[in-house]
Amino acid sequence: MIESDRAERYRTRMQRKKEVIDEAIARANREQGLLLILTGNGKGKSSSAFGMLARALGHDMRVGVAQFIKGRSDTGEEAFFRKQNDVIWHVLGEGFTWDTQNLQRDTETAQRGWIIVQEMLCDPSINLIVLDELTYPLKFGWLDLTAVLNDLKNRPTMQHVVITGRGAPDALCEIADTVTEMTDVKHAFRNGVQAQKGIDL
Amino acid sequence: MIESDRAERYRTRMQRKKEVIDEAIARANREQGLLLILTGNGKGKSSSAFGMLARALGHDMRVGVAQFIKGRSDTGEEAFFRKQNDVIWHVLGEGFTWDTQNLQRDTETAQRGWIIVQEMLCDPSINLIVLDELTYPLKFGWLDLTAVLNDLKNRPTMQHVVITGRGAPDALCEIADTVTEMTDVKHAFRNGVQAQKGIDL
C-alpha cells in the first residue's frame, strides 16, 4: 500500500515534470552555431572540449583544434584525434609562461597562432573549432581582445566554437551562448597524485 | 625602456612562478587509479568524461562506458566511440524518468545496469570506466548508495572511474579524489537554442 503510494506519487511528479520539460524543449527551436566558454579552476575544461570533438565526429562533422600555451605533443588527446579523419590539429604554444619566461616570444607565438585560427574562423566547412587555453593569451594581453571578439562574431553562422581556460574575460563571456564555470571542489594533484595519463594528459 | 621593464618584470614573475610550480609537481609523485566526480548544473559533465576516454585511448588504454538514464542510441559519442578499438559501451537506461514515469521499472533497469558495471569494476584490464549520469539512480534511491560506494572502493588499484550527473551525493564526493562542480553561468538552451549535434548530443 505504502509502496504503491510511492509509485503513484513518482508517476504524478514525473508526469508534471514532463509537461514542463516538453514546453521548454518546444520553446528552444532555434539552430545556430554556438560559442561556448569553459572556464574556472576546476578539472574538466579541455577534456570537455575534446568530448565535444568526439560527439561532432560521431555526427560526421569536420573539426579543428588550436592548442595555445601547450608546447608538448605527447598528449593522449593529440595522439588519438590525429588518427581520426576530419580533424585539423594545431599545437600553437611553446610551453607554459613560466617555462618560456619571455614576454616578447610568448606574444609573437600567440599572434602567429591567431593567424592560423583566423583561417579556420573563415572556413564554413569546419563545423566545430576548439580554442584550447585561449583565455591565457587574452589575459596576458598577447592578443588584442577586441580583434579576437570581432573575428569570433564574424565567423560562419553555423560554426560552433569552444574556448577553454581559466579566467575568461567578461567581454568574451558576454558574447558567448553558453558559459560554464568549473569549480575545483577537490583535486587529486593537491593530495600528492601526479598528472595521470588518460585523465590529465 | 618601459617596454623592457615590462619584459623584465614578466621574466622575474614567471621565474618565481616556475619555482612554486616545480615544487608542487615534485610533491605530487604518487600514481593511482582516480575517482573523479563531475557534477553541478552546468554544461560539460558528460562531454568532459568523453574527452578523458579520448585521452585514455590515445595512450592505448582500455575503456568502458555505462550510460544510465539515457535510452537513446543515436548520440554522437556512441556512434564515434563504438567505432574505436578497446571500447566497451553499455546504454543502460530506458529514457528519462519523466518519460518512463514508472518507479519500479526505473529501479529494476538501474539494478540490472549496476550488475554490468560490477563486472567492469572487477576487471583490472579496463583502465578507465565512465559511469555517465550515475548520480540520478543514486539520488532516486534505485541503487543502494552504500553498496555502490563499496564496489567503487574495492575496484582495482590503478583503475580510473569518472562519474557524471547533477547532485552527486556527499558520501560519493567524500571518497572521490577529484570533484568538479560545473556551474551554469549561461546556457544557449534557455535562450531558445535547441540541443545541437556535436555539442549536446
Report the chain A residue with the minimal C-alpha distance to residue B34: A188
When pLDDT is averaged across residues A74-82 and rounded to a whole number, the result is 94
Count chain A–chain B contacts defined by CB atoms under 8 A: 283
Set of chain A residues whose Cβ sits within 8 Å of the Cβ of B58: 75-81
Quick one: A35 and A24 in the same domain?
A: no
Residue A65 inside a domain? The answer is: yes
Instruction: For helices B145-153 and B103-121, give the axis angle rounded to 10 degrees.
Output: 10
Contact between residue B30 and residue A192 where contact means Cβ atoms under 8 Å apart: yes
Same structural domain, B91 and B115 = yes
* pLDDT score, position A74: 85
In this structure, is residue A198 part of a structural domain? no
CB contact under 8 A, B11 and A101: yes
pLDDT score recorded for residue A1: 57
- Asked whether residue A5 falls in the same domain as residue A51, the answer is no
Are A98 and B51 in contact (CB < 8 Å)? no
| CA-closest candidate to residue A144, choices A126, A174, A171, A175 | A171
List residues bridging with B184 in a β-sheet. Answer: A180
Residues B178 and B109 in one domain: yes
Contact at CB, B103 and A188, closer than 8 angstroms? no
pLDDT higher than 80, residue B73: no
Please compute Rg for chain A using Cα positions: 20
- Cα separation, A83 vs B63, whole angstroms: 18
Residue B124's identity, in one-letter code, is P
**Which residues does chain B have within 8 Å of residue A187's beta carbon, measured at their own beta carbons?**
178
Query: How far is it, in rounded angstroms, from Cα B33 to Cα B54?
Result: 17
Chain segment B127-167, per-residue pLDDT in tens: 999 999 999 999 999 999 999 999 999 999 999 999 999 99
> pLDDT per residue over B79-110, tens digit each?
999 999 999 999 998 877 788 888 899 999 99
Start-to-end CA distance of chain A, whole Å, equals 53
Chain A residues closer than 8 Å to B186 by CB: 173, 176-179
Domain annotation covers residue A201: no
Same domain, A147 and A135: yes
Residue B197 domain-assigned (yes or no)? no
| Residue type at position A185 | V
Given an 8 Å threshold on Cβ–Cβ distance, is A193 in contact with B30?
yes
Nearest-10 Cα torsion for B122, B124, B127, B131: 0
Using the beta-carbon criterion (under 8 Å), do B77 and A31 form an inter-chain contact? Answer: no
Q: Best interface-test mutation with A: which of B37, B83, B199 has the largest number of A CBs within 10 A?
A: B199
Task: Assess whether B98 and B19 both reside in one domain.
Answer: no
pLDDT at A3: 78
| Number of domain units in chain A | 2
Q: ∠ CA(A34), CA(A37), CA(A43), 5° rounding?
A: 135
Element (H, E) at B104: helix B103-121
Q: Inter-chain contact A58–B44, Cβ cutoff 8 Å?
A: no
Q: Where are the beta strands (DSSP E) in B52-177?
A: 63-67, 87-91, 128-132, 160-164
Distance (Å) from the alpha carbon of A76 to chain B's nearest alpha carbon: 4
With CB atoms and an 8 Å threshold, state whether A48 touches B48: yes
Give the residue carrying C-alpha cell 560527439. A55
Residue with cell 608538448: A72
> B200 lies in a domain?
no
Q: What CATH number did the domain enclosing B159 receive?
A: 3.40.50.300
What's the pLDDT band for A86 if we cut at 50, 70, 90?
Answer: very high
Same-domain check for residues B60 and B75: yes
Query: Which pLDDT does position B3 carry in this prediction?
Result: 78
- Does residue B1 sit in the same domain as residue B43? no
Looking at the fold, whether A20 and A52 belong to one and the same domain comes out as no
Smallest Cβ–Cβ distance between B103 and the set A7, A38, A178 belongs to A7
The answer to whether residues B106 and B69 touch, using CB atoms and an 8 Å cutoff, is no
Q: How far apart are CA A189 and CA A166, in angstroms?
A: 17
Confidence at residue B165, expressed as pLDDT on a 0 to 100 scale = 97
Contacts of A160 in chain B (CB under 8 A): 196, 198-199
Q: Specify which of A21-25, A32-36, A99-103, B8-12 reaches the highest per-range mean pLDDT.
A: A32-36
Contact state of B199 with A128 under an 8 Å Cβ cutoff: yes
What ipTM does this complex have?
A: 0.93
- Grid coordinates representing A31 are 539552430
Q: Is 80 exceeded by the pLDDT of residue A72? A: no
Mean pLDDT of chain A: 93
Q: Is residue B180 within 8 Å of A44, Cβ to Cβ?
A: yes
Per-residue pLDDT tens digits for B25-62: 988 888 999 999 999 999 999 999 999 999 999 999 99
Which element (helix H / strand E) includes A67? strand A63-67
- Non-local (6+) Cβ contacts of B160 within 8 A are A196, A198, A199, B33, B34, B35, B36, B52, B56, B127, B128, B129
Q: CB distance A61–B196 less than 8 Å? A: no
pLDDT for B1? 57
pLDDT value at position B4? 85
Asked if B24 and B87 sit in the same domain, the reply is no
CA distance A34 to chain B (A): 8
Q: How far is A62 from chain B (nearest CA, A)?
A: 10
Average pLDDT over residues A154-179: 98
Asked if the Cβ–Cβ distance from B192 to A29 is below 8 Å, we say yes
Residue A59 inside a domain? The answer is yes
Q: Distance (Å) from the C-alpha of residue A8 to the closest C-alpha of chain B?
A: 8
Tell me the backbone φ, ψ of residue A174, rounded to 5 degrees. -60, -40
- Give contacts of B10 with chain A, Cβ < 8 Å: 97, 101-103
pLDDT for B181: 97
Measured CA distances, B85 to A162, A166, B58, B81 (Å):
27, 33, 11, 8
- Domain with B52, as residue range(s), is 32-191
**Contact criterion met (CB < 8 Å) for A76 and B53:** no
Considering the domain architecture, whether residues A168 and A70 belong to the same structural domain is answered as yes
With CA atoms as reference, the chain A residue closest to B178 would be: A187
Question: Within a domain: residue B134?
Answer: yes
- pLDDT band with cut points at 50, 70 and 90 for residue A58: very high
Find the helix or strand (DSSP H, E) in which B148 lies: helix B145-153
Split at pLDDT 50, 70, 90, the class of A71 is confident
Q: What whole-number distance in Å separates Cα of residue A46 and Cα of residue A189?
A: 17
The predicted model gives A129-156 an average pLDDT of 97
Task: Note whether B98 contacts A191, CB cutoff 8 Å.
Answer: no
Residue A179 pLDDT class (50, 70, 90 cuts): very high
Starting at the edge strand that comes first in sequence, how are the strands of the sheet with A63-67 ordered? A87-91, A63-67, A128-132, A160-164, A35-39, A178-186, B178-186, B35-39, B160-164, B128-132, B63-67, B87-91
Nearest chain A residue to B140 by CA: give it.
Answer: A10
Q: Which residues of B touch A99 (CB under 8 A)?
A: 18
Has residue A7 got a pLDDT over 70?
yes
Instruction: Read off the pLDDT band of A95 (50, 70, 90).
Output: confident
Classify residue B201: in a domain, yes or no.
Answer: no
Distance CA B44, CA A51 (A): 9
pLDDT tops 80 at residue B19: yes
Residues A41 and A10 occupy one common structural domain = no
Q: Tell me, what's the pLDDT at B69?
A: 86
Q: Which amino acid is at B163?
A: I
pLDDT at A154: 98
